Amino acid sequence: MGFRGFPFAVRSQAAAVACLGIMTVAGACLAASFDDNIKAIRAVGSEGKGHAAAISAVKELSLGSAESLVPLLKAFDDASPLAVNWLRGAFETVADRQLKTTGQLPAENLQTFIKDTSRSAEARRLAYEWLIKVDRTASDRLIPGMLRDASPEFRRDAVQRLIKSAKTAQEDKNVEQSATLYRQALDGAVDDDQVNAIVVPLREMGQQVDLQKHFGFLTEWYLAGPFDNTAFKGFDIVYPPEKSVDLTAKYEGKEGEVTWRRLSTTDEYGVFNIAKLTSPYKGAVMYATANFASDKARPVECRLGTPNAWKLWVNGDLVFGRDEYHRGTQLDQYRVKARLRSGNNTILLKICQNEQTEEWAQDYKYQIRVCDSTGAAILPSPAAAKVSSAN
């Protein structure tokens, strides 16, 4: 029947309420559309799965306003690398259009997002790259406070600023100030090139630096072996140490009885040269175990460098392995996610050497460090330092 028969004021009020209801529904539809588009992008998979829906979603999201920029950034959280690429494209399209048409971006909102360390590091960096386009003072305001940031890129920027200041102080013959600045930079440095740029001048000043501790290398191990790896068979064979780590046990090895031997390394980068420590066995499998005492349960990264085939267990759980030989060695060559429990944790490494006789194929070594996702060292707790004899 509509509004006919009602006084004009009542009809007007009713029309306003109806209009408001339509606007509310429309707003809800738009919000749902945005959320649905985000879901379509986050669901995109490899081999073309969901790509058509993602393309459509990106087109719609790319038409968004400045208010959609931070929600797009929030969608990066826990998204796959492929989905992140789609989201980045939508964000940059919207941001670029806003910058060209208005010369502005929601700087305050972007800065708030950047400061939220719980958010995706990649999204925070993207927000920063666009923020500095409209606010040249943002770098000086934000970066100095990011020395121990959850984002490796932000940490690196903060460290580099301190290195630059330390060099300037050094050139001005202000040794004390320079050393202080280098020490501050070292506190946040996780990349080897920056660490080296800090350590060299510090040592020239007579300062002591413990690189083993700084990087978190494990330097005390028990080794057992060699076991047989002729014809590459050892990688898949389950030798006794894989079943149970018993430091008092005796095993039948490749060349007779073997036991666990306690060894340590003085190498600054925690390298254990098995060929030199035990003898250069070829076609061999060695096991190495170490205890890591943690003051709490936590996620960690075990970062490994080796030219040999390997498997790694943490508390009896196989976390990763690589059946490849002689691909070179470098710091943080492999990054393996694991989880420590509170108290003692048993780390077990199986490392295999093949039978190649070339000079370049003689390396039989490894290095392992424990760190967080940025590469900052996590050191064992001194409260529980005994080597555990069980998984």
Q: What is the pLDDT of residues 330-378, one digit of tens each?
A: 999 999 999 999 999 999 999 999 988 888 888 999 999 999 999 999 9
Does any domain span residue 387? no
The answer to whether residue 292 scores a pLDDT higher than 90 is yes
Residues 167 and 221 in one domain: no
pLDDT at 44: 87
Average pLDDT over residues 98-120: 97
H helix or E strand, kind and range, residue 23 = helix 8-42
pLDDT at 391: 40
- Percent of the chain beyond pLDDT 90? 81
- Please state, in angstroms and as integers, the Cα–Cα distance from residue 368 to each residue in 89, 173, 234, 281, 330, following that order: 37, 39, 21, 21, 11
Residues 114 and 28 in one domain: yes
Does any domain span residue 146? no
Q: Which two tokens stand for residue 146?
A: 């990011």
Average pLDDT over residues 93-98: 98
Does any domain span residue 330? yes
Residues 360 and 237 in one domain: yes
Does any domain span residue 56? yes
Residues 263 and 233 in one domain: yes
Residues 228 and 178 in one domain: no
pLDDT at 277: 81
pTM attached to this predicted model: 0.83
The answer to whether residue 195 scores a pLDDT higher than 50 is yes
Q: Of 139, 164, 155, 163, which Cα lies nearest the Cα of 191?
A: 155
Domain count, the chain: 3
Residue-wise burial string across 295-326, b where 16 or more C-beta atoms lie within 10 A, e elsewhere: eeeeebbbbbbbbbbbbbbbbeeeebbbeebb
The answer to whether residue 65 scores a pLDDT higher than 70 is yes
pLDDT at 387: 43
* Confidence band, pLDDT 50/70/90 cuts, at residue 178: very high
Integer Cα distance of 229 and 85 in angstroms: 43
Q: What is the mean pLDDT of the chain?
A: 90
pLDDT at 160: 98
pLDDT at 378: 97
Q: Of 142, 297, 309, 308, which Cα lies nearest the Cα of 235?
A: 309
Integer Cα distance of 287 and 285 in angstroms: 7
Where residue 333 falls (left for φ over 0; alpha for ψ -120 to 50; beta otherwise) is: alpha
Does any domain span residue 2? no
Residues 59 and 180 in one domain: no
- Residue found under tokens 């076609």: 283
Could you list the residue range(s) of the whole structural domain that residue 189 is in? Answer: 152-209
H helix or E strand, kind and range, residue 323 = none
Residues 51 and 180 in one domain: no
- Other beta carbons within 10 angstroms of residue 70's beta carbon come to 18
The answer to whether residue 329 scores a pLDDT higher than 60 is yes
pLDDT at 21: 40
The answer to whether residue 76 scores a pLDDT higher than 70 is yes
Residues 181 and 195 in one domain: yes
Q: Where are the beta strands (DSSP E) in 105-219?
A: none
Average pLDDT over residues 108-119: 98
Integer Cα distance of 237 and 62 in angstroms: 54
Does any domain span residue 3? no
Top-confidence residue, 279 or 49: 49
Bridge partners, residue 343, by sequence: 294
Length of the chain: 391
One-letter amino acid of 53: A
pLDDT at 280: 66
Residues 163 and 179 in one domain: yes
Integer Cα distance of 271 and 287 in angstroms: 15
Does any domain span residue 303? yes
The answer to whether residue 214 scores a pLDDT higher than 90 is yes
pLDDT at 20: 35
Give me the phi and psi of 264, to 5 degrees please.
Answer: -140, 165
Q: What is the CATH number of the domain that holds 305?
A: 2.60.120.380
- Please state, in angstroms and as integers, the Cα–Cα distance from residue 228 to each residue in 148, 214, 272, 321, following that order: 45, 36, 20, 18
Q: Which two tokens stand for residue 295?
A: 């003051």
pLDDT at 281: 81
Integer Cα distance of 178 and 202 in angstroms: 9
Residues 315 and 362 in one domain: yes
Residues 235 and 357 in one domain: yes
Average pLDDT over residues 111-115: 98
- Please state, in angstroms and as integers, the Cα–Cα distance from residue 236 to each residue in 233, 255, 260, 285, 354, following that order: 6, 19, 21, 11, 13
Out of 45-59, 63-77, 206-220, which region has the weakest mean confidence (pLDDT)?
45-59
The answer to whether residue 31 scores a pLDDT higher than 80 is no
pLDDT at 383: 60
For 76-79, which contacts have Cβ atoms below 8 Å and span 24 or more sequence positions? 76/119, 76/120, 76/122, 76/123, 76/126, 77/119, 77/120, 77/123, 78/120, 79/41, 79/42, 79/120
* Confidence band, pLDDT 50/70/90 cuts, at residue 47: confident
Average pLDDT over residues 123-144: 97
Per the CB < 8 A criterion, the answer to whether 286 and 225 are in contact is yes
Average pLDDT over residues 193-222: 97
One-letter amino acid of 268: E
Does any domain span residue 64? yes
Give me the phi and psi of 128, to 5 degrees please.
Answer: -65, -45
The answer to whether residue 19 scores a pLDDT higher than 80 is no
Residues 221 and 269 in one domain: yes
Q: Is 94 exposed, middle or buried (0-12, 13-18, 19+ CB in 10 A)?
A: buried
